[in-house]
Amino acid sequence: MTRPPVISLTDCADPNAVARQSARIAALFGATPTLLPLTGPDPEGVAALTLLDLLRSTELTGEPVHPIVVLVNIAPRDGSWPNGAPFCYFRHKKHLVISTLNPRVLAPLSAYLELAEVQVTDVREVLEAATAQWAELTRDQVEEITRTQFRSLWYVPLLARWLVDRRPVPARPHPLVEADRPAAGGAVRVAVVDNFGNCKLDRPVAAIPGHRGAAGLAVHSARDGRRIQVRCYDRLPDVPYGEPGITTGSSGVGFAELVVRGGSAAELFGLREGDHVLAVTG
């Protein structure tokens, strides 16, 4: 049986962790996965936009597409769960996504891909069901996988394999409610800084009030604390060379991007992932 390729977004990304995860996923799926380490100052924000981009990148093909599996291990470290947030899964068209139950990571999918709910799993319940029906795991092995804090290594690849194989994995639906979605107001953050220094923001240009105004938008400079008026343009080529601008970028669904044509917006404004750049009201 040919299994789909696996792409993993993870904040467990030192060389030792990457090697172990790659070996385990390869052994279960028969091919080396693509591991994308998220080690910057705001891995949740990067994961949220990247997951949305991964799923959207499978559209606009004009051809049938092959399924992919996406694993997301970005746990909220707020101490709310006794052994970390549970893992959930959902299917988007042909694709399978397994993720920590992280509202911030899942919010863009709720808002822009109309994801209404996810299926939440319990590690012990899944392992005991698997052992009773299809998996050859001893009681001691079930206990070891259940108790470990390294669930992204030991549990998630197994869960992915079993879901791909259409095993009857027990799970409970968990709705993504309005509160989980990005607010219309509040601060606009830098979600991703790309290799050119362009700052991909965390919402569409059209959702930013005042983006059509001639005066532009007041961008916060982390370098000196000032607010600098930056004009909005349709595309990067429309921005005057050497000047900053806010354009419709390549990510999300028309998400905004702070750029400097021929330069680095991140350097000019002193910005990193997770920084607030715009205050939005309404």
DSSP secondary structure string for all residues of 188-234? EEEEEE-TT--EEEEEEGGGSTTTTSTT-EEEE-TTTS-EEEE-B-S
Whether residues 64 and 200 share a domain: the answer is: no
Whether residues 67 and 152 share a domain: the answer is: yes
Nearest to 46 by CA among 162, 166, 194, 241: 194
pLDDT band at 212 (very low <50, low <70, confident <90, very high): confident
CATH value at residue 194: 2.40.30.90
> Can you tell me whether residue 163 is helix, strand or coil?
helix
Whether residues 259 and 164 share a domain: the answer is: no
Mean pLDDT score, 219-245:
94
Euclidean distance between CA atoms 35 and 242, whole angstroms: 35
Residue with more model confidence, 280 or 157 = 157
The answer to whether position 171 is within a domain reads: yes
Of 151, 179, 207, which residue is a domain's last?
Answer: 179
Cβ neighbours around 55 below 10 Å, total: 20
Whether residues 147 and 14 share a domain: the answer is: yes
Of 179, 212, 245, which residue is a domain's last?
Answer: 179
Find tokens 């397994």 and name the residue: 98
Q: What's the domain count of the chain?
A: 2
Mean pLDDT score, 256-278:
96
Flag whether pLDDT at 281 surpasses 70. Answer: no
Cβ neighbours around 171 below 10 Å, total: 19
Nearest to 196 by CA among 268, 259, 274, 276: 259
Flag whether pLDDT at 2 surpasses 90. Answer: no
Flag whether pLDDT at 40 surpasses 60. Answer: yes
Span 24-34, pLDDT tens digits = 999 999 999 99
Whether residues 45 and 61 share a domain: the answer is: yes
Burial, 132: exposed, middle or buried (Cβ in 10 Å; 0-12, 13-18, 19+)? exposed
Domain range for residue 137? 6-179
Of 132, 154, 179, which residue is a domain's last?
Answer: 179
Mean pLDDT score, 19-43:
95
> What's the predicted TM-score (pTM) here?
0.93
Whether residues 95 and 139 share a domain: the answer is: yes
